[in-house]
Structure 1
Amino acid sequence: MKIISTNIGARKEIDWKGTSITTGIFKFPVDTSIFLDLEDVKGDEISDRENHGGILQAIYGYSLKHYDFFKPSYPNLDWQFGMFGENLTIDDLDETKIHAGDTFKVGNAIIEATLQRDPCLKLGVRFNDMKIIKQFWNTTFCGVYFKVIQPGMVVAGDVFAQIKSCPKNPTIAALYAARRVEKAV
Structure 2
Amino acid sequence: MTTTRLIGIYTGRVTADYARGRASAIDKQPVEGPVVLGPLGLAGDEQADPENHGGAERALLHYSLDRYAGWQEQYPDRATRFVPPGFGENLASHGMDEHSVHIGDIYRIGTARVQVSQPRTPCWKLDARFDVPGLARDVQETGRCGWFYRVLEPGTLTAGDMIERLERQPESLSIAAAMAAVYRRRNHQHLQQLADCETLAPNWREKARRKLRRAPDASSQQRLTGEPPSE
Q: Same fold (TM over 0.5)?
A: yes
Verify the 8 A CA contact 1:7 1:81 in the aligned structure 2.
Answer: no
Higher relative contact order, chain-length normalized (CA < 8 Å, sep 6+)? 1
Verify the 8 A CA contact 1:116 1:143 in the aligned structure 2.
Answer: yes
Distance (whole Å) between structure 1 residues aligned to residue 133 and residue 157 of structure 2: 32
Percent identity between matched residues is: 30
Higher strand share: 1
CA displacement at 1:87 relative to structure 2: 0.2
Which one-letter code corresponds to 1:92 in the other structure?
G
Per-residue CA deviations over 1:83-119 (Å, capped at 9, x if unaligned) read: 1010001112221122211100010010001100011
Quickly say closer, same or farther: Cα 1:122–1:74, change in 2 above 3 A: farther
Among 125, 149, 174, the residue aligned to 2:177: 174
Distance (whole Å) between structure 2 residues aligned to residue 121 and residue 41 of structure 1: 24
Quickly say closer, same or farther: Cα 1:102–1:48, change in 2 above 3 A: same
Verify the 8 A CA contact 2:112 2:153 in the aligned structure 1.
Answer: yes
CA displacement at 1:21 relative to structure 2: 1.1
* Secondary structure, aligned partner of 2:61: strand
Which one-letter code corresponds to 1:66 in the other structure?
R
CA displacement at 1:74 relative to structure 2: 4.7
Bigger CA radius of gyration: 2
* Secondary structure, aligned partner of 1:32: coil
Higher helix share: 2
Query: Deviating runs (4+, > 3 A) in structure 1?
Result: 74-80, 181-185
**Residues 1:81 and 2:74 are matched in the alignment:** no
Verify the 8 A CA contact 1:103 1:165 in the aligned structure 2.
Answer: yes
- 133-142 or 40-49, which deviates more: 133-142
Structure 1 unaligned segments of length 5 or more: list them: none
Quickly say closer, same or farther: Cα 1:130–1:35, change in 2 above 3 A: farther
For residues 1-185 of structure 1, the aligned pairs below 5 Å read 1-14=4-17, 16=19, 19-72=20-73, 73-76=75-78, 77-181=80-184
Verify the 8 A CA contact 2:42 2:60 in the aligned structure 1.
Answer: yes
TM-score (norm 1): 0.90
Distance (whole Å) between structure 2 residues aligned to residue 108 and residue 15 of structure 1: 34
TM-score (norm 2): 0.73
Structure 2 unaligned segments of length 5 or more: list them: 185-210, 212-216, 222-231
Per-residue CA deviations over 1:46-92 (Å, capped at 9, x if unaligned) read: 11111121111110000000111112315443454211010001112
Quickly say closer, same or farther: Cα 1:8–1:167, change in 2 above 3 A: same
* Secondary structure, aligned partner of 2:127: helix
* Secondary structure, aligned partner of 2:51: coil
Verify the 8 A CA contact 1:60 1:145 in the aligned structure 2.
Answer: yes
CA displacement at 1:173 relative to structure 2: 1.2
Quickly say closer, same or farther: Cα 1:45–1:51, change in 2 above 3 A: same
